[in-house]
Structure 1
Amino acid sequence: MWMSPNVPTGVSMPAARRTLAAIAGTALLGIPALAACSSDSGGDAIKVTATDKKCEVGKTDWTAGKNTLKVSNKGGSVTEVYVYAQGDRIITERENIGPGLTVEIHFDIKPGEYQVACKPGQKGDGIRQDIKVAGATSEKPMDPRLSKAVADYRAYVQGQVDQSLPVLEQFVAAVKAGDTAKAKELYAKSRIGWETMEPVAESFGDLDPKMDAREADLQAGEEFTGWHRLEKTLWTTGQLTADDTKYADQLLADYKDLQAKVGTAEITPTSMANGAKELLDEVATGKVTGEEEAFSHTDLVDFAGNVAGAQKAYELLKPYVLEKDAGLGATLDGEFADIRKVLDKYKQGEGYVSYDTVNDQQRKELSDAVNSLAEPLSKLAGAVAQ
């Protein structure tokens, strides 16, 4: 039995890299990959044409402030598009853009030098184009409701991270003591703070892949670290070694680094909205398929934490969104309630059943609930950017 996250039941950080194997897994289950929305925001959007060999950006001199990328995938592979600051810090991203799809990405950006990267096949460093952003933002001050949403979300993230630290410390202590049973008991519980704050995980640079990358996410020469490195040992050999002690110590150090950075991390209304949508994509390609927690089968704990974090971001943005699009607010209220009902079917005491007991038909039901929520959630950033 696994503990559940602190999930809001009423109104009131890109994920690790995902590979085509995740999408293939959905097909094997008869589960459709999340469809990206297609829309048209007019001539102000910056056009990006992605193919299997090119990443063509309509203009490379941008103006600071609110911007929109209109990305068309004209290649034969699923792709993803990133805007990177120096050091590959992610400003915004969109994953799982299927062939023939056009999506819009709304975001805020400051003056400086950046790169747009298209990643056909969702692998590697991508095909990159240099971008320059100039000018002071000439926009009016942020709406007080959005300022409050950002401040409250930062406080929420800090609280979630702080609350999970003692559990992570116990998990690390169990690993170092060679207590496999105790470490397995604490593994999923130690991840709850991380899973709930994942809509803005990319604000913390390389801490995301260091702490949460799966082995399948790694490129040649990259070291396998973090929770999933320890998960593999615990549920395969069960023989904890000096290497596991090293990885446990590093995980705790990285987590404390994350905790210290919450107060200064760059969080914007659009990054909250985009992060919530991207998190649902990750649920569809990792959690629903069982790929995320391949050894421990604690996927439903992650799933519930991700939904809780996405819902919190929406609830805080809701006062502004309702004025811009009351219908969208009503739809999202209903979809979040529906997905909670589906998840509740798998509650067991204070936690959730092991995911290897959930059959293909039940996983399809979970996938349908995710897709039904993801479509209106993809419009949240656009409403916030108005």
Structure 2
Amino acid sequence: MPGLTSPKIRRTAGARLAVVAATAVLPLALASCTDNASATSSGTTDGPIQVTSTASDCKVSATEAPSGNLTFAVKNDGTEVTEFYVLAEDGLRIVAEVENIGPGITRNLVLTAPAGKYITACKPGMKGDGIRADFTVKDSGQQATVDADLQKLVDTGVTQYTAYVKDQTEQLVAGTKEFAAAYAAGDAAKARSLYAATRMHWERIEPVAESFGDLDPKLDAREADLEPGQKWTGWHRAEKDLFPPAGYKALTAAERSAIAKQLVADTEELSTRTRTVELSADKLGNGAKELLDEVARGKVTGEEEIWSHTDLWDFQANVDGARIAFENLKPALQQKDAELATDLDAKFGALQAELKKHAKGDGFAYYNELSKDEVQQLSALVDSLGEPLSKLTAAVVL
């Protein structure tokens, strides 16, 4: 799930949970078509904010909006798949996003935004910095009323998920140190045995991790995603060295040591930053869908772990993270939309049952061992879960 380093939007981040003010509530992207909204002469809009993305342009129908619930109706008038982002003023932190918008498709990005300065960005072809523009949210002075009992359920779910992120981050740091020590010492067999299991902690909280735009490319950039001149570090740099393709020249002991040292340092920095991240129900719902998008884009295709073929470990971890977010919100969802809660339970169960068929010991079969039919079945179950999961945030956000 390259990043926002110069600044640059990561290739296909799934889903990412923004590091924003505690008052920000940022619901998930919803796939639907909308009517056109009329922009006022002041640059604001009294309806959905229309966004038109092409290969060379990102037209946003308003430059300002009042704080509260905002809807961006993003239409792709180009020939490539596009994405749309709302970024914090620094251009690094991802506040909200909608991905995988095919040509001719319109998808909604719904968020509740506090007053402040933001940046909008279209990313045609899912490459580069994106086509950016400033966007301002002005204080509307309006406060939403909420149901106290439902709010308590939501708050409990957020607290539980925050604890889950903390636990996974701690395990990621510990596992990374063990992996890095083995890798730096040249113990390739031990490092290979630790690689997939340790990365699962990253993959479970990937939307949180990816919200830090400068750390994500350092830790998780694939070779195919590198920009010209970008230094390649992180997990996939070590992966190629541990699971080398034909003709590959192995890294020297000094090079391995440098990769290992940087990997630990960046993971510890991630741990420090996650202690201050502000989570909310919308971020849980967004993150759940984004994790499933990560599965659909990288794990099902086998592109994420191109040398190790440990994609099913990542697949399982992404599903774990999405399911935990859903389950933390399920008590509130059962009050708001019991039918959706039941549907999500069933479809998570079906996907997990299919994954279990490929389990081997404490891990999984290598992805290149799966037949085409087995891959297609997994893909179909991911697609089946994706549609109802896209409704989660809108159902629980108050």
When normalised by structure 2's length, the TM-score is 0.84
User: How many Å apart are 1:195 and its aligned residue?
Assistant: 0.8
- Long gaps (5+) in structure 2: 1-7, 14-28, 38-46
- Long gaps (5+) in structure 1: 1-13, 20-34
Which is worse superposed, 171-180 or 47-56? 47-56
Which is worse superposed, 330-339 or 235-244? 235-244
Q: Distance in 1 between matches of 2:102 and 2:237?
A: 30
Residue 58 in 1 paired to residue 58 in 2? no
* Cα RMSD (Å): 2.3
- 8 Å Cα contact 2:30/2:110 also seen in 1: no
Aligned equivalent of 2:277: 265
Aligned equivalent of 1:38: 32
State the structure with bigger RCO (CA 8 A, min sep 6), 1 or 2.
1
Aligned equivalent of 1:76: 79
Change (3 A) 1:365 1:291: same
- 8 Å Cα contact 2:92/2:212 also seen in 1: no
Q: Distance in 2 between matches of 1:374 and 1:336?
A: 10
Residue 123 in 1 paired to residue 131 in 2? no
**What are the superposed Cα offsets for residues 182-232 of structure 1, whole Å, 9 maximum, x if unpaired?**
111111122121111113333333222221111112222222111001101
Aligned equivalent of 2:105: 101
- Point out 4+ residue stretches in structure 1 off by more than 4 angstroms: 39-43, 237-240
Match of 1:48 among 37, 43, 51: 51
Aligned equivalent of 1:225: 233
Q: Distance in 2 between matches of 1:225 and 1:64?
A: 40
- 8 Å Cα contact 1:48/1:56 also seen in 2: yes
Change (3 A) 1:240 1:68: farther
Aligned equivalent of 1:303: 315
Q: Secondary structure at the match of 1:69?
A: strand
- Residue type at the aligned position of 2:31: C
Change (3 A) 1:306 1:282: same
User: How many Å apart are 1:180 and its aligned residue?
Assistant: 1.1
- Residue type at the aligned position of 1:270: D
**What are the superposed Cα offsets for residues 120-166 of structure 1, whole Å, 9 maximum, x if unpaired?**
11111111121011216622468222222222111100011112322
Match of 2:12 among 18, 21, 41: 18
User: How many Å apart are 1:264 and its aligned residue?
Assistant: 1.0
- Residue type at the aligned position of 1:138: Q
Aligned length: 358
Change (3 A) 1:202 1:139: farther
Equivalences for residues 246-325 of structure 1 within 5 A: 246-325=258-337
Which is worse superposed, 133-142 or 115-124? 133-142
Aligned equivalent of 1:92: 96
Match of 1:165 among 158, 163, 173: 173
User: How many Å apart are 1:42 and its aligned residue?
Assistant: 9.3
User: How many Å apart are 1:16 and its aligned residue?
Assistant: 4.5
**What are the superposed Cα offsets for residues 61-100 of structure 1, whole Å, 9 maximum, x if unpaired?**
1223332222111211100111111142111112211011
- 8 Å Cα contact 1:199/1:309 also seen in 2: no
Identity of aligned residues (%): 47
Aligned equivalent of 1:29: none
- 8 Å Cα contact 2:36/2:50 also seen in 1: no
